[in-house]
Chains A and B, each alone.
Chain A
């Protein structure tokens, strides 16, 4: 594997991890923009724009874009997060130019008013779809509770109200400001012909005018999350299980401790073989009990997800807190460290051999930090982590400390009493 980097005069960055004997090529445009860059008046615009990018340019209809991707045999899609909007395609190497050129053209969409009206209906359906599914909004509500007024607390999809109220002009203006070449990374992995990639980018992106005004990431540094615990409940009478989400502060995306935080989350709450697994999932007490570490540019958090019978939810959330407190007091064992390290190393290798998965690691990391980490670098990091590293994270970011907790479920017994408000009940956490 070799790493290549180039920067066009207008600011567009091009990075590639080249694996000559790979069977496929993955290519993607990583735009440094997402829900945290929105305001109340533009809530949901990043994700809406992601949809509109597929609706065509002045020269290309939406149907033509869809036909071209299918004709290339591309596996093409896009996603929007709090900080990034990513358009990607995995193709056979012979299609590298076609796929890159098409994605590049799409970055300058027509944003037609009639398409905007139709697509609004699709996005409202997407919001309803997620709202009907576990964890029934508990994850978004928990992030809002954790981050408070910080823009990282904004849900990516927006709300039915914010999407209905969004005017097309706001979307066009957002595109002008955020999709400047200096705010975009073109990344590729697999069997990449790098000189050809740069050539395609020059031809199709070289005339994108740089935006003179800088486009900084919005928001103040949120610090370490809520100073005190917050608890909310969402009542869904049709739900069979209750779904709990718990968020506490963790190392941020620019903190070297973030790697130890991910290993710690594996020890405590991996989907199998972790402390939460043995305490809650293996005995059949909970359908799910897991913990993972998520980081943003300037913030990080540990997220615990729990699914269980509504009657058990409050008890089990307390048990989770106790498990974290026990870990903080008693530490992690050498055997646990070894098992988690082997697991993570195995995952790094398995992800590493699939260009379509590596694309996200390479592209998102470059968009965030301007750094590249190879699979070997990642393995070396995992290998170096010690018990001291984990214990330092446990001490510095107590998972049993202040947290935002949201529980969605059939209600009634969720917090030991019948909530009087059928939609939302708020109360202080019990711990």
Chain B
């Protein structure tokens, strides 16, 4: 299958990416703006999220309500999120709606009204969402792990911190949007049944004269402690472990993510087999790879009842230690098969493709075709993964537990 990938950079720095998927009836667009939780600033955690919410509340000639109704009236399945490094405004729709939808997004991105009377509702929405995450033990556990593992502000929670969100004013929201939302570093990705020349022309017309200089600086801090227990009155104790992995742009990230997939990536993985299938210790257990642009993390997660949490943690440690030197070719073949088929099936969703090509560009500053990606998986060997494991032993683990009682963490895993 020959992929139809396109890219161009406008004079103001906006990168426009496209993938034509003629077998689909839909088209999707993803605006990847270079403003995220890392730009919040000290004591201002949640500013990017509040600003993103405010950008939807009136833009160009449209009121808050008209923004949503114009998208939904055109049948656009819209989504908005703020992550560590980005704000994303996305939409998936029947293909013929893409060109008419672009001016709405242009208003949101370039001409948000940021009305003072919408600040309080927007703040309340952010605070309610934050309260909702407090009730999600798995989410809290992973958020705590990111904060432990990544140097500040790369691990700060994008959803914000209540006490800090409560202090934010309309002036700083407006200032933040004016300074941080800018063309340089922005990526606009479209995928699906698209006509590339038409899309590029339209995007150039809507965004080509955008010239905000902007400020992309990030104030970096330090890492927190390595081990943390979060007291929570729940039946289950949630466990998350994190340790070094190379960021996606680094070539050996493939070795790292394959090693982690063997450890805990599928139902034949070691953690699933040893923790759940053999011992019945839990319902969910997994290992995986999480990446930012300059930092990444190997992650293990499990949730199990308090009485069996220590045993679960001990088995997880044992499997992490056992991994180097014991990889089997059949394990790698299964990981390759799963990765390849996931990559191919992603081509069936315009929304997934638009998001994916935008993210990859952010990491690599280039497009990577499916064929290149598959070829890189073919290069993986037991030897190359073993070499990576030998050079990067799982050490200095960050350990989070959330539940009624803290767990015992052996000294050697913290070293």
Indicate whether B266 reaches chain A with its CB closer than 8 angstroms: yes
Q: How far is the CB of A57 from chain B (nearest CB, A)?
A: 16
Complexed CA–CA distance, A21 and B75 (Å): 26
Partner of B69, one of A91, A92, A339: A339
CB pair B137–A67 under 8 Å, yes or no, is no
Contacts from B to A (Cβ < 8 Å) = 1, 23-26, 64-65, 68-69, 72-78, 92-94, 97, 120-129, 131-132, 134-137, 232-236, 266-269, 272-273, 276-284, 303-305, 330, 333-335, 337-342, 344-345, 347-351
Indicate whether A342 reaches chain B with its CB closer than 8 angstroms: yes
CB pair B132–A282 under 8 Å, yes or no, is no
CB pair B26–A353 under 8 Å, yes or no, is yes
Indicate whether A184 reaches chain B with its CB closer than 8 angstroms: no
CB pair A63–B268 under 8 Å, yes or no, is yes
CB pair A66–B266 under 8 Å, yes or no, is yes
Complexed CA–CA distance, A122 and B135 (Å): 23
Chain B residues in 8 Å Cβ range of A272:
68, 72, 78
Complexed CA–CA distance, A75 and B349 (Å): 16
Q: How far is the CB of A181 from chain B (nearest CB, A)?
A: 27
Chain B residues in 8 Å Cβ range of A273:
68-69, 72
Which residue of chain A lies nearest to B267 when distances are taken between CB atoms in the complex?
Answer: A66
CB pair B334–A349 under 8 Å, yes or no, is no
Chain A, range 238-274, C-beta contacts under 8 Å to B: 238-241, 272-273
Q: How far is the CB of B129 from chain A (nearest CB, A)?
A: 6
CB pair B235–A131 under 8 Å, yes or no, is yes
Complexed CA–CA distance, A343 and B74 (Å): 7
- 5 tightest A-B contacts by CB? A284-B124, A73-B341, A346-B75, A121-B280, A73-B337
CB pair A237–B233 under 8 Å, yes or no, is yes
Interface centre among B78, B135, B136 (most CB of A within 10 A): B135
CB pair B268–A70 under 8 Å, yes or no, is yes
CB pair A284–B348 under 8 Å, yes or no, is no
CB pair B277–A66 under 8 Å, yes or no, is yes
Q: How far is the CB of B80 from chain A (nearest CB, A)?
A: 10
Complexed CA–CA distance, A42 and B117 (Å): 56
CB pair A91–B341 under 8 Å, yes or no, is yes
Complexed CA–CA distance, A234 and B132 (Å): 17
CB pair A62–B131 under 8 Å, yes or no, is no
Complexed CA–CA distance, A123 and B234 (Å): 17
Given contacts A91-B341, A125-B305, A353-B24, is CB(A238)–CB(B234) below 8 Å?
yes
Partner of B304, one of A71, A125, A283: A125
Indicate whether A176 reaches chain B with its CB closer than 8 angstroms: no
Partner of A24, one of B93, B269, B303, B345: B345
Given contacts A70-B337, A121-B281, A132-B234, is CB(A356)–CB(B131) below 8 Å?
no
CB pair A284–B236 under 8 Å, yes or no, is no
